[in-house]
Amino acid sequence: MRKAEVVVVWFRRDLRLEDNVAFYHAVQSGYPILPLFIFDKDILEQFSQVEDRRVQYIHEHIVKINDELKKYNSGILCYHSTVSQVFEQLTDNYLIKAVYSNEDYEPQAIQRDREVASFLQRKNIPFYQYKDHVIFRGGEILKQDGTAYQVYTPYAKKWRSLLTENHLFDYSVGLEKALFHHFQSDIISLEQLGYRSSENRKITNEIDLAIISTYDQYRDYPGIKGTSLLGTALRFGTISIRKCVRIALKENDVWLSELIWREFFSQIMYLYPTVEKHCFKSKYEGIKYRNNEEDFLAWCEGNTGYPLVDAGMRELNATGFMHNRVRMVVASFLVKHLLIDWRWGEAYFAQQLLDYDLASNNGNWQWVAGCGCDAAPYFRIFNPTEQAKKFDKDGSYMDKWVPEWRELYYRQPIVEHKFARERALEVFKEGLKEY
Ligand code: FAD
């Protein structure tokens, strides 16, 4: 039988059909499109819990894309396999004219794409990759002397000065104009993948304009719904970053600054991949952390006796989300008050956060620990009680997650603030001196 001629659109961190650069270019090719998604066995090994909110989120969006494509007698071809096996099989079954995908800047993904590129090259199949996940990829925003920015403020200034209309182009194409390969796809179930569905809080991929327009006023108060909650959508590309920036430019400049932080950390991970495992500022490798496992467990479970820290950790455990202000407080508490290596906290967040993103998580943990580029100085130690008074004045956030915090019998703090502060200053000073 003659093989069908197709172009493959390989979806990864861009789980949407709207305003998707790779999909747009595949449509322009004029060949029938074969949409593809791979539940990569090599990656799923890292998601070992039976209930994983992220796998469930991805699954839901693949089903959604598949349902949308059914209207055009098509679907998304979905595999549970390794990437190399899938491409072997696809090239056996189809006459592939080209493969289209959007760039992914994480070290593991870059390696995977290199291998796919060389496999496809051996078969004479072009592999087109596009910038879709960010406005500026690593290496596009550089200092006058050609080196990378390691400080956010000048980076953001340059980012803004280089932004043009072209960067914000809307790549949406009417699906009725696209030519799809006709087939029927049944998406493998979550259970077949080895997961169980859990109650997934509804995760938005819609922009709430009322929130964005008042973002600068309310973003710091965890008891108020004052932030976009779009982290997960941005992570998995169920919303387009260009759409967010178009709206930020109109509605709220402070929100735009946050989107630029995301790109700042993305370029750091891309240009300095050693930060994945090591401190950006190597002298911080000299800090002698206590790494007490019992303290770590108390922190993970939200049992430190500091109600704001406990509220944050319990919110994280229950929902997969934590407000940014509280993320900073719990992270500082772990690293400074408990003297536990930031990598332990980073790994715990990586397991729990729905919006987990390697570059943003790592960048922010290193920022809090003082060892990152443009990081908070080591002597900046949040006082969790004062933070609660300032940012959760009426206690409504703590009431929600730690209802017993107002009671007399609420647990004793795991460590006294003043003592912990002085201990941290001492350990950091010594560690930085010795290295
Ligand atoms: P909004 O406040 O509405 O901001 C809009 C978007 O801008 C976010 O969705 C996110 O994509 C981006 N953004 C905002 N703040 C930051 C920031 N400081 N750094 C990078 N991007 C930012 N963010 C992640 O997306 N993934 C992570 O794994 C992650 N880990 C973090 C770990 C720690 C210790 C800390 C202090 C922060 C972390 N952040 C992370 C940044 C920030 O807390 C979240 O992006 C934010 O809370 C998500 O809520 P939102 O979608 O309502 O964001």
Pair of tokens at residue 120: 């496809």
Predicted confidence at residue 435, as pLDDT, reads 64
76 is in an annotated binding site: no
Q: Measured from the CB, is residue 233 less than 6 Å from ligand 1?
A: no
State the chain's mean pLDDT as an integer: 96
Mean predicted confidence (pLDDT) in 189-197 = 92
Mean predicted confidence (pLDDT) in 411-433 = 96
For the CA atoms of 19, 20, 22, 28, what is the dihedral angle to 10 degrees? -30
- Work out the pLDDT band at 199, boundaries 50, 70, 90: confident
Q: Cα 127–130–133 angle (5° rounding)? A: 135
- pLDDT surpassing 80 at residue 231: yes
- Is residue 228 within 8 A of residue 260, CB to CB? The reply is no
Separation in Å, CA 315 to CA 4, 56, 325, 412: 50, 19, 13, 20
The predicted-structure confidence for 64-94, as pLDDT tens digits, reads as follows 999 999 999 999 999 999 999 999 999 999 9
Q: Which residue has the tokens 């940012």?
A: 391
- Is residue 229 within 8 A of residue 348, CB to CB? The reply is no
- Is residue 99 within 8 A of residue 207, CB to CB? The reply is no
- Work out the pLDDT band at 244, boundaries 50, 70, 90: very high
- Work out the pLDDT band at 52, boundaries 50, 70, 90: confident
Helix (H) or strand (E) holding 72: none
- Portion of the chain with pLDDT greater than 90, in percent: 91
Mean predicted confidence (pLDDT) in 172-183 = 96
- pLDDT surpassing 90 at residue 44: no
Question: Is the ipTM of this structure higher than 0.95?
Answer: yes
- Portion of the chain with pLDDT greater than 70, in percent: 99
Mean predicted confidence (pLDDT) in 10-16 = 98
Predicted confidence at residue 197, as pLDDT, reads 87
Mean predicted confidence (pLDDT) in 326-339 = 98
- Work out the pLDDT band at 421, boundaries 50, 70, 90: very high
- CA of residue 221 to ligand 1 center, whole Å: 14
- Work out the pLDDT band at 59, boundaries 50, 70, 90: very high
- CA of residue 353 to ligand 1 center, whole Å: 11
- Is residue 331 within 8 A of residue 342, CB to CB? The reply is yes
- Is residue 63 within 8 A of residue 187, CB to CB? The reply is yes
Mean predicted confidence (pLDDT) in 8-34 = 98
- pLDDT surpassing 80 at residue 47: no
- Is residue 15 within 8 A of residue 65, CB to CB? The reply is yes
- CA of residue 116 to ligand 1 center, whole Å: 31
Q: Measured from the CB, is residue 54 less than 6 Å from ligand 1?
A: no
Whole-angstrom Cα distance, residue 432 to residue 423?
A: 14
Give pairs for 289-292: CB < 8 Å, separation 24+. 289/339, 289/340, 289/341, 289/427, 290/338, 290/339, 290/340, 291/339, 291/340, 291/341, 291/344, 292/338, 292/339, 292/340
- Work out the pLDDT band at 375, boundaries 50, 70, 90: confident
Write down the H helix ranges in 272-341. 293-301, 307-319, 324-332
Pair of tokens at residue 124: 């004479």
357 is in an annotated binding site: yes
| Closest CA relative to residue 358, chosen from 9, 13, 10 | 13
Q: Measured from the CB, is residue 368 less than 6 Å from ligand 1?
A: yes
- Work out the pLDDT band at 200, boundaries 50, 70, 90: low
Mean predicted confidence (pLDDT) in 312-320 = 96
Predicted confidence at residue 272, as pLDDT, reads 97
- Work out the pLDDT band at 51, boundaries 50, 70, 90: confident
Q: Measured from the CB, is residue 362 less than 6 Å from ligand 1?
A: no
Predicted confidence at residue 201, as pLDDT, reads 67
Whole-angstrom Cα distance, residue 29 to residue 10?
A: 15
Write b or e for each residue in 304-342: b if 16 or more Cβ atoms lie within 10 A of its Cβ, otherwise e: bbbbbbbbbbbbbeebbbbbebbbbbbbbbbbbbbbbbb
Write down the H helix ranges in 9-82. 21-29, 41-44, 53-70
Query: Exposed, middle or buried by CB within 10 Å (0-12, 13-18, 19+), for 153?
Result: exposed
Q: Cα dihedral sign for 319, 324, 329, 332?
A: positive
Q: Measured from the CB, is residue 322 less than 6 Å from ligand 1?
A: no
- pLDDT surpassing 80 at residue 434: no
- CA of residue 229 to ligand 1 center, whole Å: 9
- pLDDT surpassing 80 at residue 125: yes
| Contacts with 258 (C-beta within 8 Å, 6 or more apart), sequence order | none
Q: Measured from the CB, is residue 232 less than 6 Å from ligand 1?
A: no
| Contacts with 199 (C-beta within 8 Å, 6 or more apart), sequence order | none
pTM of the predicted structure, to 2 decimals: 0.97
Whole-angstrom Cα distance, residue 63 to residue 75?
A: 9
